[in-house]
Amino acid sequence: MSFDTERQQMVDEQLRARGITDERVLAAMSAVPRHLFVDASLRGRAYDDSPLPIDAAQTISQPYIVALMSEVLALKGSERVLEVGTGCGYQAAVLAELAAAVFSVERLPALADRARERLASLGYQHRIHVCVGDGGQGWPAAAPFDAVMVTAAAQSVPRPLLEQLTDGGVLVLPLGEAELQGLARIRRQAGKLHVDYFGECRFVKLIGEYGWEE
């Protein structure tokens, strides 16, 4: 079976069949070659319905979670998006299919370098910008952002991320304890915050000033 066929099966059976309805998100998940974001030894499992390990004891998220987090941002195509936690770069590539520009912060230099190279090889270098830093601090020099996605578990919402969000902007993050979180969407509107939850999830910890200690 070809990777193209496996990717389409993933979209049909893991995403569409489980309630992902945003056609732009489904198209993005169909377009991004997930198998190129995992180690060569794991490419046969790239389209499995599960997270997979990447370097530095991190993970590439389950396809359904990638699609769900992307869908709840409700991107239209013109947005500037901040991603906290570049990892292998897969979620950033999906976001780049949905928005005008993606600014992704990774705390581990080796992961950031590999993600930057991988994304450039796929033609994303002009739409995705990667820097090394404490993701909880956001990316002040590139702010403000219309949407923020945090791909690591936080015990509370990092204040700098809210401060870098435009009025009407949306922040999505796993919020809770180390072993189990709720997927939260926070919309900033006229100085007030509106919160919705989209079920349970499990992510690696957000490390830094606004997360867990190293």
- Per-residue pLDDT at 61: 96
Considering the entire predicted model, what is its pTM?
A: 0.96
Beta strand pairing call for 59-60 and 52-53: antiparallel
pLDDT at residue 214 is higher than 90: no
Instruction: Show me where the domains of the chain are located.
Output: 3-201
The C-alpha angle 46, 172, 33, rounded to 5 degrees, equals: 20
pLDDT at residue 150 is higher than 90: yes
pLDDT at residue 141 is higher than 90: yes
Is 61 assigned a catalytic role? yes
Q: Which of 30, 61, 70, 104 is catalytic?
A: 61
Q: How many residues does the chain have?
A: 214
Identify the CATH number of the domain defined by range 3-201.
3.40.50.150
Tokens 């993970």 identify what position? 59
